Amino acid sequence: MKQLFAALLLWLPLSAHAALNVFACEPEWGALAREIGGDAVKVYTATTAMQDPHRIEARPSLIAQTRRAGLVVCTGAELEVGWLPLLLRESGNAAVQPGRPGYFEAARHVPMLDKPARVDRAQGDVHAAGNPHIQTDPRNLARVGAALAQRLGEVDPAHAAAYQARWKAFSVRWEAAIARWQQQAAPLKGMPVAVQHKSFSYLINWLGLREVATLEPKPGVEPSLGYLAEVAARLKTSPARMVLRAAYQSPRASEWLAQRADIPVVALPFTVGGAPGTEDLFGLFDVTLTELLKAAQ
């Protein structure tokens, strides 16, 4: 009887509080929130792996989801500048506005790469805070996860201990996975690669790859055939072993270059759901490493 009563005491606090509504701008943050939150959170992810997160329409359905949210989790660093401010403004939800506990930017918790010396919009999609595609380095997800667990506990104190416990359990598994991935990726160190867009700076930095060419003349600007021909000419003197593109990007430019440089195109999932087997964060990096190693052979 005493054991039954103790079990009921543990169950009652969980049943007395509705799940926290989490609005995640990108799939990686939705997946991370689920890992930490478990049944205490209800996660809505605003975008998919097959969408360009820079260019999302602020649909009424997204505004409605933002209105219901107790926590908004986004990349920040101006990645969502074209659509998130409108969602926040139109939602009328004071709890998730910038500066409030219910608003969380992942990029604030990691060291940023590719910070421009000066911001000039004539140079394309330049982000003043640095490259926003931080999720391609699993070490960044660990940094963000620690901060997100803390923030979840601040927004939802009733489940703060549970969030910390789930975070610690996930962190142990995650650090072990990072060590395994780094061991698997050892043959990639120093390997020269071309990229279609500056999507993989953090992945390249983590694995010690060497970026020798970018297919876009400016970030976010579609390359012309003339520009691609210039890149192909440069690769004759400074060859690349593969061309990297995100799953959501058009394959035209990378395939054109790959045919002329006689190198493979690697379509990486970029985020959770970007390829079969990437339904969670562990699968995301398992598949990413598998594709890179396959192309390197």
Other residues' Cβ atoms within 10 Å of the Cβ of residue 115: 14
**What count of Cα atoms within 13 Å lies in the side-chain half-sphere of residue 284?**
25
Token reading at 254? 């990378």
Residues of the chain with CATH 3.40.50.1980: 18-180, 185-296
Lookup result for tokens 């398992």:
286
Distance of CA 205 to the CA centre of its chain: 15
Pick the CATH number of 18-180 from 3.80.10.10, 3.40.50.1980, 1.10.240.10, 3.40.50.2300: 3.40.50.1980
Structure confidence at residue 2 as a pLDDT band (50, 70, 90): very low
Percent of the chain with pLDDT over 70: 91
| Per-residue pLDDT at 119 | 60
Whole-prediction pTM:
0.90
The answer, yes or no, to whether residue 258 has pLDDT greater than 70, is yes
Mean pLDDT of 85-91: 98
30-55 pLDDT, tens digit per residue, is 999 999 999 999 999 999 999 999 99
CA proximity to 285, closest of 177, 125, 168, 157: 177
The answer, yes or no, to whether residue 14 has pLDDT greater than 70, is no
The answer, yes or no, to whether residue 124 has pLDDT greater than 80, is no
179-234 pLDDT, tens digit per residue, is 999 999 999 999 999 999 999 999 999 999 999 999 999 888 899 999 999 999 99
The answer, yes or no, to whether residue 78 has pLDDT greater than 90, is yes
Query: Alpha-carbon distance 237 to 283, whole Å?
Result: 36
CATH assignment of 185-296?
3.40.50.1980
| Per-residue pLDDT at 118 | 64
What are the phi and psi torsion angles at 181 (to 5°)?
-65, -40
